[in-house]
Structure 1
Amino acid sequence: MKTTLTTLLLLIAISASAQKMITKTGKIEFEASVPSFEEVKATHNAATAVLNAQTGEFASLALVKGFRFKIALMEEHFNENYVESDKHPKATFKGKIENFDAAALGTTFKDFSIKGQLELHGKSKAIAAPAKIRKTDAGIEIISNFAVNASDFDIQIPSVVKSKVSNKVNIRSEFTVK
């Protein structure tokens, strides 16, 4: 009886964990460039994401200091003056992929919508973003492009550079969860 109960609990634990797919090598890029000025763009290559393949629940996390710029001084200003990464070290998203059905995914991208809360700089905002999702040999690939305003997260752009940095920030994320 004890062996049967232990086996049953083990099977339940395995099936519950099998629904969650994860990556720690997700890529997030953002750009707040203004034409005719220096590119304001950064990339993060170690973002974490978790997908519950059964429910479509999705969450991601990026340590803010993980964003890399081409110009080191821009990265320093970003961390110290804009997002205050010592005070607000993480950017997170928690939401759900609407009408998600992992069994219906194929090798070509299908269009979905992801809705949830983006938290950055101590502020949270509801986000609805389009996503392209497909199955690959490596897992489930999720690509999303959307835009937010820095001002929605109380990120102040100093007047001296206001003409060189856009309030509108374009974000692209790529995750392959397995």
Structure 2
Amino acid sequence: MKSFLSFLLVFVSTSIIAQGKFITKKGSISFEASVPSFEEVKAKNSTVTAILNTDNGEFAALALIKGFRFKNALMEEHFNENYIESDEYPKATFKGKLVNYDNTNIQNEYIIKGTLSLHGKSQEIETKGILNKDSNDTITITSTFITKPEEFDIKIPSIVSKKIADDISVSLNFILKKK
């Protein structure tokens, strides 16, 4: 009986320690809207904040729009001023949950389902996400999904519309540490 109680105490202690909130302020989101034969339309933001609650699988992220960096400074300026209007809509947020989340099996592929808010509009997003947990109490979340500018009322002027893809590929990579 004594050994059973010892085992139970160790199991419960380990479960409590293994759960909680994991956070990053250096996550990355990149997107690509390139069209063959034209200049690359690609940007990356490496200052994204994200949090995962490992008790229940809730996940949230916040990206400041002006944090996206392009190779071409003029393209970055047009993105912020003309398309995404980052002075009026300074951030993008995601709030959702890992579907069928199992906190005893964090290292797995999950469906991430939630609401992406950008440019004053919100859209339901559902995508596959891969979670990996290492021995240093770090969880990595990676995912890729497709969206369209019109889903967020982002207007692309006709003069450049042939140079920007209809489908925007969005990739994310978060390395979260125990809070």
Normalising TM by the smaller chain, what interval? 0.7 to 0.9
CA–CA distance in structure 1, aligned partners of residues 26 and 99 of structure 2:
24
Identity level (%): 53
| Runs of 4 or more above 4 Å deviation | none
Aligned-pair CA distance for 1:168: 1.2
- In the alignment, what sits opposite 2:31? 30
- In the alignment, what sits opposite 1:112? 110
Name the CA shift for 1:61/1:119 in 2 (closer, same or farther; >3 Å). same
What TM-score results when the alignment is normalised by the length of structure 1? 0.86
- In the alignment, what sits opposite 2:124? 126
Aligned-pair CA distance for 1:102: 3.4
CA–CA distance in structure 2, aligned partners of residues 148 and 103 of structure 1:
32
- In the alignment, what sits opposite 1:54? 55
Q: How does 1:85-100 map to 2 (within 5 A)?
A: 85-100=86-101
Q: How does 1:14-25 map to 2 (within 5 A)?
A: 19-25=20-26
- In the alignment, what sits opposite 1:142? 141
Instruction: Provide the secondary structure at the position in 1 that maps to 2:161.
Output: coil
CA–CA distance in structure 2, aligned partners of residues 66 and 112 of structure 1:
28
CA deviations 1:16-72 (Å, max 9, x no partner) are xx6121100001000011111100000000100011101000000000000000000
CA–CA distance in structure 2, aligned partners of residues 172 and 52 of structure 1:
21
Aligned-pair CA distance for 1:100: 1.8
- In the alignment, what sits opposite 2:169? 170
User: Is there any run of 5+ residues in structure 2 with no aligned partner, and where?
Assistant: 1-15
Aligned residues: 159
- 8 Å CA contact 1:64–1:85 kept in 2: the answer is yes
Aligned-pair CA distance for 1:138: 5.4
Aligned-pair CA distance for 1:176: 1.2
- In the alignment, what sits opposite 1:3? none
What TM-score results when the alignment is normalised by the length of structure 2? 0.86
RMSD (Å), alpha carbons: 1.2
Aligned-pair CA distance for 1:166: 1.3
